[in-house]
Every structure is written in structure tokens, then in C-alpha cells.
Structure 1
Amino acid sequence: MFSAFSVHRRGLVRLATAALAPGLVAAGAIVAAAPAVADDVPQHQGGATATLTGLKIHGEAVVHGSGEEQEEQRVPAGLFEMSVDGGGTLQTYCIDIQNPTQKDARYQETPWSGTSLGGNPDAGRIRWILQNSYPQVNDLAELARKAGARGLSEQDAAAGTQVAIWRYSDDADVEAVDPDAEKLADYLQKSARNLAEPKASLTLDPPAVSGHPGERLGPVTVRTNAGRVSVTPPADSATSGVKAVDKNGKSVTTASDSTQLYFEVPEGAPDGSAELQLQASTTVPVGRAFASETRSQTQILAGSSESAVAATATADWATTGAIPAVSAEKNCAKSGVDITVSNEGDEAYTFELMGLEHTIPAGQSQTVTIPLQEDQAYDFTIKGLNGLDKRIKGVLDCQTESAGGGDTVQMVSTPSPASAGGTSGGTDLAETGSSSATPWIAGTAVALVVVGGAAVFLVRKKKTPTED
């Protein structure tokens, strides 16, 4: 067992925030009064969704302290495994070394722009490492030769690869414990070149559209690396008459990359909304990021079996008035959430967020960036059609611990590497930054005050040079 495991305050705040996130509201947000129905606006715009199953192949690494804190941390370093919803398995390495993973955390395929990779000029070097090391390269003898190592086991290769990634994802002073694994880390770090972000396995552009009955609403453009995508019409299409069609009005049941889909809404249909479900089976591209709203450390894809991927397109329609379509996406470059509202109605659409009023003229679209603090939970509601309001919620997680800075706290009784991955019976995974102190943190670090349905949120404190 490690004792007096030192992590930065960011980890403390993250865990405390995660425990209370469902009740948090971004400061200044004006939320519509008690809507009859709340429709969550997904920020996951398609791809794979998976559950973390554990740290499966790993060695060990030593993280060296910086500044006044010179403590060394000995941590597991290696490959995680995830189980994909609908079938499939993913192998990942972690980024954000000091942030803990949560047992059985749910992850979603996410653009780099929605993670710390979005503002990291070396993100492309991480992708190069993934493509040129284990498990993409499984000839370990050849990999050892390139690295100048005597030999590499799977554990050494996983540890060396993870260490090289941390040096670019977190700017961490970290070394592999095994000498050959360390040689691999050095080789990968020095050889890495910047590569472009890989494309999504499945995403939609845009994921939400609107218009009038009697029109084809869209287009929604499919972006995918799958050869074939199944398109499932709205659940009540037999009675509502709403269909998925192409630009010529022909019914569509399958799609591929660049296919344009439309919702065909019968003339005279009552005001309403509908969804199209898209599903495919494909290999998720190496280098795709995976993020979790449970504050479990961000992962980056190292390998994928044939896996299920999915996306949802939504449409709203009305006969007269404003007809908004709302989508949302994290924007780490601007430290906030981009809320895109298009209005295909015949009247301007006005909504209010963070004390500011925004008006979208008829026939136009606008993206509003809501600025947030790092680690801030948010919960916005935008008034929609027919009592179906649009709710946007989540937690902004755009920085690694190294980028965020801050002072330190002490955590004790961190699980040892021997228990890494845990068992189905129950203890938390033993990975970087994990701790059994979560109940203590949640109980003492944060007080949540709820007044009139709003909540006081927690913002991470950063140390300034003038602080002691």
C-alpha cells in the first residue's frame, strides 16, 4: 500500500464535484420555470459509448514532484479495457495522470476539442505514439530493437507507452520503473511527430434540425468510417407519418459516409418532434478521445475490436412561430459550452442564459459560447416547443492537473499496483490518482446550498504567485 499519496487540489475538487454534480447549476443561468417535460440535449454527438472494466496490462512508473513538493509517486501505468454498449472491446491509455478513474465509469467518444487535447499542441504526437507502439505494434522484439532495449514484455511495452503519453498529455516528469520500458518511453517521446486528429467513428452534422409540417427537415449529414449505417425511423412513424428520406423524398433505411438525411413531416401534422436512430459496427479509429461525465480521467484509444457505434438525429416542427433546433458541444479552446440554435420558423426566437438575452432571427442559426470555470458543473434549460424544453447539463473538464496547477493535499491508503483492475466483487480500480478517501472528500470539502431551485457551485481555486 502507498501511504501519504500526494495529489493536487484539482483531484479533491473533482471528486467532490462529481458527488454533487446532479444538483449544480452554472452561476447566472436563467432556467425556465418547471417545464412540463425536459428533453436532454446530448453533447455526445455520436460514436462509441463504453464502460470502463479495468486496468488490464500494466507495469509501474514513478512520477516526480515539482516545485516545493518533491515527493515521488509510484503508480501503475498501462492499458485499460472498456466494454462497448452493443458489443465490442476498446483498449485505452489515460491522459490527465493525477485525476482518478471511477469504477465502472461510462465513457463516450469525444472530439479532441471537448477534452484537454483540444488545447494541447502535442496532441498529434500522442496519436503518433499510439500508432507506433503497443498494442498497434505487437512485434515486441522489433519494438525493443528500435528502442534500444534488451527486450520487452507486454507489461513493459504498455508501461513505456503510457509514460511517453503522459509526458505529452500532462507535461509530467515521469519515468518507467523497468529500464527497458523507460528506453521505450524515451524512444517514443523523441520520435513522435504531430498527426491530425482522427475522424469520428460516427457523428452527425448537425444533430438537430427544425422546420414546418409539409417540408423535408434537414439535411443531417452522416460522418462515419463504417461501410454501412442502419437508420431506424421514429418509433411512432406508422401513426405520425414522419419518415427518414433522402433529398428526393425516397425512404432511407441505410446510410454511409456523407449521406444526407431528412425528416419528411406530413402536411397538416400537429406541432411535434421526432428522432432518428443510427447504428453501425466498425473499428473505432486509434487516437479518438473518450470522456466521462462522472469525472473519471479522460482516455485515448489505443485499439478497438469491431464495435457498435450510434448517433441520434432530432427534429422539431411547428406550423407558425419560432421553431428552434438546439444542440450543444464542449469547446475547450474557449473554456465553455457551445450552444447552437437554428430557427427555421417565421418569427425570431429569443432565449436567455447567464443573464444575457440572445435572439435568433427567422431562418438563421447562431452559436453562443457559455464561458465556464474549469471543473464547473452546468445545467441550462432553454425553452422549446410544445412544453418540451431543452436541457443541457454536464461538467467542464478541459485541463489536466498539470495545466491547472494548484496546491496539494494528502491522501492515504491508495491501492497498490497488485490490485490494479480490481475484481467484480468490489474494490475501486487502482490507477493513477485513485483513492479510497472519496467519502471524506465529499463530506468535508464542499457545502452545497440550494435556494429556490438554484445551487451554489464549486470552482477550483488556483494559487497565485502572491499566495503563501
Structure 2
Amino acid sequence: MTHVSLPRTAGRATLAASAAALLAFGLAAPAAADPAEVYEGSVRARYVDNAQNGETVTVNGSSVGTSLFNLELEDGTVLTTYCIDLETDIIGGAWYREDKWENYPGKGDFAAPGKVHWILQNSYPTVSAADLGQAAGLGRRASEAEALAATQAAIWHFTNGATLGRAPGNTTRIYDHLVESAEELPQEPGATLGITPETASGSAGETVGEFTVETSATAIEVDLEAPEGVTLVDIETGESVETVESGDTVGFAVPAGTAAGEASFSLEATATVATGRLFKGESDEPTQTLITAQGGETTVSASASATWEEGGETTPPTEEPSEEPTEEPSGEPGEPEAPAPSPSDEPSETPSAPADDSNQPTLPVTGGALAGLVAAGIAALGAGGGAIYLSRKRKAAASESLEG
């Protein structure tokens, strides 16, 4: 397998040709998705050329060139990077995006990223070739080409399980020193600036979204775009926030009854792209995954947004209750009001015997009144029967006189 290790002028020529080809293709092809909408992270960079070339070495039985690669950020800042994917070639002019170690997309396990991080902090170019040679116990100075080749081979040892074979000069001695001395550094260097996730949705009456900020900067001012009444709050405290730092988790507080809508917040800061940050290619076409050997300061930005549906509103009653109470409650509880006496309730000539239980309520109809009602009913029934009898008798007499 041959890696692309372009000299500076060749790299720039390749970049120019790639840009021209992309421009010509873009005139006829539909617009591609914005990489910022596809990849997590906020720092984008393009491989422009090689910063420096090292010795050619034999790795896993194949002859491989070693190089430091230049990644140019969108603001012009240039980062120096090593390859962490031995099995994939680099594409001239390829665009990259900063990302997490866990999202390593290359061929190989990237099995011990902590040890790779240690190597980056304790080898070339962070440590000079002379100091690295001394640390390796060499009796004479090591060249930069040897130090670079040894560093790259040691990185491949931990990312791809590669073994260094034949190598010129002091390369093998420096390589052995790095592999044997490497320690686990589990703490991944902080992101330059990123917000996870980039979008969220919910309903009015709740806090919409749970956005986590990761950054190497501090106290970044929040630029909020939201309808009136909607604020950005700290998820833990519920308090409104105007600045954020790495590890903060925020969301949009949307009051109940707010109409369906959306809001967003953006961050911009000057931050450091740390040594040990992973950069992966944006294109579907595979290109080497890179890791920063020397970082740099850059101006970065990131944003996140949320949408919500109307909800959480309590609808007030539109009408008063249709049934009003028919009576006012009595003054004293437990004492029912006695009904007014009716005409039939006049006392009879013979007073009735007193009731056995004086605590029982008075009956609405007395015994004497009931007897009078029964007698009246019988008299009415007799009068009705007599009237019917007389009526029939008259009809029969009339019929007899007509026949005579």
C-alpha cells in the first residue's frame, strides 16, 4: 500500500486541481448537504500539503513513507497532524471535521488512544529530535526525519497493531523507547467547540432540548434567537443563562400556551484546538484519519435549535354552571323546617292521642283529615253511580214511548 506523501508544491497543485474540478462539477451537480449538518463538531479543516517528511520505513512487511500533514482551518489557522489510519490513503484537498475518538472511522481498532495521546505529548515535534534522542538513550543526536518516522510508527503500533521492521539510523531505537514508555492517558483532550445534539423538539409548557456544550474556551456568550417569553436555561438549576462553559447542559424554557414555534442559540469563541484531537474526512470517499500533533488557536462557532408544538395550556370554562342551587341552605343544620299547616290540619273535635315518641317529626297529614278524605271519596263515588243509573233509566223510558 502506498500513502500519498506530497511535497509542498505538489500538494498545492493537487489542491488547485481538486478545487477546479469541484467547481466545474458543482455547476452541473445538485448541491450537497452542508457538512456542518452531517457531522458532529464545529471545526472544519482541509488537507493542503505535507508539513514535513520523515524516513521511509518498513511496517508489517511493506515500505511506507512517513509525513506530518498540514490541515488548514477555515480561518486560515494551520494544524500539524499525524496519520492514525495505516490502511487508508490520504486524498489531496480532502475536507475534515474535528470529532471524538469514539467516532474513529478508519481501518484499524484505534485500540489504545490514551497511549497515542501520550506519544503525541512526548515525541516529535512537541519534543525536539535532540531531546527525544537523549530520552531514548542515544549516544549521538537523532535527526528530525528519524524522530518523525519513529513517532509515526509508534502511533501506528497502537492504532493499527503495526510492527516496525527495517528502519534507517536511530529510528528503531526511538520507536522502541516510545512504545515501551507509553502510558494510558484516558482523558481525551477537550473539544474546541461543539453542541450535542444540534436539534431537539418538544411541547410548550416544558423545557425543550438537553444540549451539552463541549469547548476548550471559557465563559462563552450566548446569542439567543427566540420568541418573547422563551429563554435558555440551565437544565440542573432552571435558571436563565447568558454564558456557558464546557460541560454545561441547557434547554429552551417554553411557557405553557406559547404558540408552536422554534428557537436557536449560537456560540462563538476563540479557542485552542488541542493536541490529540481527531479529524475525520467529511466525504463518503475514505481518506486517512488524522490526529493533531500541534494545535493552535482559532475562532470557532456552533449552534443548536429546537421546535415545539402548542401545548400545556389549561382552557378556562366558557360558561357558568347551568344548574344553580334551588334552595339556600337552612340556618341550623340537622333541624328540618316544619311545613305550613294546611286547612285539613285543623284539630278535630276529639283530640288524637299523643304520639309515643315526642322526638318524631310531625306528619304532614293527620289521622282525622285522612278519615274525612276517605268519606268524601265514597260519597263522590255513590253520586257518580246514581247519576249513571238515572241516565240509563231515562233512555229506556224514551225508547218505550217511541215504540208505543
Q: Is the counterpart of residue 181 in structure 1 residue 135 in structure 2?
A: no
**Residues 282-291 or 206-215, more deviating:** 206-215
Q: Is the counterpart of residue 110 in structure 1 residue 105 in structure 2?
A: no
CA distance in 1, matches of 2:36, 2:204: 22
Cα separation, partners in 2 of 1:231 and 1:192, compared to 1, 3 Å? same
Alignment partner of 2:186: what SS?
coil
Cα separation, partners in 2 of 1:190 and 1:116, compared to 1, 3 Å? farther
Letter in 1 for 2:48: T
Q: Is the counterpart of residue 244 in structure 1 residue 235 in structure 2?
A: no
Q: Where does residue 430 of structure 1 map in the other structure? A: none
Cα separation, partners in 2 of 1:279 and 1:41, compared to 1, 3 Å? closer
Contact persistence 2:70–2:80 (CA under 8 A): yes
Matching residue within 46, 56, 80 for 2:51: 56
Letter in 2 for 1:190: E
CA distance in 2, matches of 1:41, 1:214: 31
CA distance in 1, matches of 2:141, 2:222: 49
Alignment partner of 2:54: what SS?
strand
Matching residue within 30, 46, 49 for 2:41: 46
Alignment partner of 1:198: what SS?
coil
Relative to total residues, which structure has the larger helix share, 1 or 2?
2
Alignment partner of 1:127: what SS?
helix
Q: Where does residue 299 of structure 1 map in the other structure? A: 290
Matching residue within 64, 80, 91 for 2:80: 91
Letter in 1 for 2:223: T
Letter in 1 for 2:232: A
Q: Can you give the 5+ residue segments of structure 2 that lack an aligned partner in the other structure? A: 4-32, 313-404
Q: Is the counterpart of residue 147 in structure 1 residue 136 in structure 2?
A: yes
CA distance in 2, matches of 1:215, 1:46: 27
Residues 119-147 of structure 1 show CA distances to partners (whole Å, capped at 9, x for unaligned) of: 44322221111111112223x32211112
Deviation at 1:297, TM superposition (A): 0.6
Q: Where does residue 307 of structure 2 map in the other structure? A: 316
Q: Is the counterpart of residue 211 in structure 1 residue 208 in structure 2?
A: no
CA distance in 2, matches of 1:39, 1:188: 40
Deviation at 1:253, TM superposition (A): 3.9
Q: Can you give the 5+ residue segments of structure 1 that lack an aligned partner in the other structure? A: 8-37, 67-71, 322-468
Q: Where does residue 183 of structure 2 map in the other structure? A: 193
Q: Where does residue 346 of structure 1 map in the other structure? A: none
Number of matched pairs? 278
Matching residue within 207, 227, 246 for 2:218: 227
CA distance in 2, matches of 1:228, 1:86: 22
Residues 271-307 of structure 1 show CA distances to partners (whole Å, capped at 9, x for unaligned) of: 3433322222222232221111322110112111112
Contact persistence 1:45–1:312 (CA under 8 A): no
Residues 19-61 of structure 1 show CA distances to partners (whole Å, capped at 9, x for unaligned) of: xxxxxxxxxxxxxxxxxxx999945333422112221112122
Matching residue within 163, 169, 176 for 2:153: 163
Residues 388-446 of structure 1 show CA distances to partners (whole Å, capped at 9, x for unaligned) of: xxxxxxxxxxxxxxxxxxxxxxxxxxxxxxxxxxxxxxxxxxxxxxxxxxxxxxxxxxx
Deviation at 1:217, TM superposition (A): 2.1
CA distance in 1, matches of 2:96, 2:117: 19
Percent identity of paired positions between Structure 1 and Structure 2: 35
Cα separation, partners in 2 of 1:174 and 1:264, compared to 1, 3 Å? same
Contact persistence 1:164–1:189 (CA under 8 A): yes
Letter in 2 for 1:57: Q
Alignment partner of 1:166: what SS?
helix
Cα separation, partners in 2 of 1:221 and 1:298, compared to 1, 3 Å? same
Contact persistence 1:78–1:155 (CA under 8 A): no
CA distance in 1, matches of 2:208, 2:142: 56
**Residues 92-101 or 55-64, more deviating:** 55-64
CA distance in 2, matches of 1:196, 1:52: 28
**Residues 39-48 or 85-94, more deviating:** 39-48
CA distance in 1, matches of 2:303, 2:40: 7
Matching residue within 128, 132, 141 for 2:122: 132
Q: Aligned ranges for residues 300-449 of structure 1 at < 5 Å?
A: 300-319=291-310
Contact persistence 1:61–1:163 (CA under 8 A): no
Query: How large is the Cα RMSD of the aligned pairs?
Result: 3.3
CA distance in 2, matches of 1:269, 1:154: 64
CA distance in 2, matches of 1:91, 1:267: 51
Letter in 1 for 2:100: P
TM-score, structure 2 length as denominator?
Answer: 0.60
Contact persistence 2:267–2:301 (CA under 8 A): yes
CA distance in 2, matches of 1:99, 1:112: 17
Deviation at 1:220, TM superposition (A): 2.1
CA distance in 2, matches of 1:228, 1:159: 40
Contact persistence 1:61–1:175 (CA under 8 A): no
Cα separation, partners in 2 of 1:167 and 1:293, compared to 1, 3 Å? same
Relative to total residues, which structure has the larger strand share, 1 or 2?
1
CA distance in 1, matches of 2:97, 2:34: 19
Letter in 2 for 1:221: T
Q: Where does residue 277 of structure 2 map in the other structure? A: 288
Cα separation, partners in 2 of 1:168 and 1:96, compared to 1, 3 Å? same
Letter in 2 for 1:315: A
Deviation at 1:249, TM superposition (A): 7.0
Alignment partner of 2:282: what SS?
coil
TM-score, structure 1 length as denominator?
Answer: 0.52
Alignment partner of 2:66: what SS?
strand
